[in-house]
Chains A and B, each alone.
Chain A
Amino acid sequence: GAVVSQHPSWVICKSGTSVKIECRSLDFQATTMFWYRQFPKQSLMLMATSNEGSKATYEQGVEKDKFLINHASLTLSTLTVTSAHPEDSSFYICSLQRYWGLAGGSQNNEQFFGPGTRLTVL
């Protein structure tokens, strides 16, 4: 498997402020990371795919200027919710795919998920 961390696990902020969520791979290099959003009692909704060293690819309907994604290294991707509003309150989850490298291969499509971040916007 793989260990993925997210920070913070829970954040409360005022409307209009920006919030940054970090997703880290602790034990392997991840060229591709994914960001999901999950509303209570619902499934995961893919927001964007983050590739190291390039711009993120956003799913239809997701505002790229509102949800800024930066994949600065093979072990870190960040999601910044800019000018957050109460409707942005949700559970945000990141996931990683293993890196195809000399040390090992991908489990093909298997993603390893972070523990999630609960965002509450007042």
Chain B
Amino acid sequence: AQTVTQSQPEMSVQEAETVTLSCTYDTSESDYYLFWYKQPPSRQMILVIRQEAYKQQNATENRFSVNFQKAAKSFSLKISDSQLGDAAMYFCVYGGATNKLIFGTGTLLAVQP
């Protein structure tokens, strides 16, 4: 069975600084997707970024980028120029052949003004 591990329950970053959230996963599948979802205080789940496992190039979405290391089964999220609106719970998520999503335990990110 697939698992997703987020080892940082909480993180804090100063506004305008850069922060990296860690995620590791375990799978025997060769074809899968990885996601970072954000859940702000409103509790609405929002897709931040998506990575296809077959792509070697790291995905980037504006201030958000990932470091995808397939061999190491690592998928970290880097947030550059952090903004107050980035404060949220961030979930690392695995999507494989079953169509079900497997969520990590989440990292609560605080942004200090």
Segment 92-108 of B: residues with Cβ below 8 Å from A = 95-96, 99-101, 103-106, 108
| CA A107 to CA B85, docked complex, whole Å | 26
**B35 in the interface (beta carbon within 8 A):** yes
In the complex, what's the smallest C-beta–C-beta distance from A39 to chain B, in angstroms?
12
A116-B101 in contact given A43-B106, A110-B35 (Cβ < 8 Å): no
Asked if A115 and B103 make an inter-chain contact with CB atoms under 8 angstroms apart, the answer reads no
Asked if B103 and A43 make an inter-chain contact with CB atoms under 8 angstroms apart, the answer reads yes
Asked if A43 and B104 make an inter-chain contact with CB atoms under 8 angstroms apart, the answer reads yes
Count of chain B residues with a beta carbon within 8 Å of a chain A beta carbon: 23
Asked if A46 and B101 make an inter-chain contact with CB atoms under 8 angstroms apart, the answer reads yes
Asked if B44 and A109 make an inter-chain contact with CB atoms under 8 angstroms apart, the answer reads no
**B84 in the interface (beta carbon within 8 A):** no
Partner of B45, one of A41, A49, A113: A113
Asked if B47 and A116 make an inter-chain contact with CB atoms under 8 angstroms apart, the answer reads no
Partner of B91, one of A44, A49, A116: A44
Asked if A43 and B105 make an inter-chain contact with CB atoms under 8 angstroms apart, the answer reads yes
12 A-B residue pairs with Cβ-Cβ distance under 8 Å, sorted by A, are A43-B105, A91-B43, A93-B45, A95-B45, A97-B99, A109-B33, A109-B99, A110-B95, A111-B101, A113-B44, A113-B45, A115-B44
Q: 4 closest Cβ contacts across the A-B interface?
A: A109-B95, A113-B45, A43-B103, A109-B33
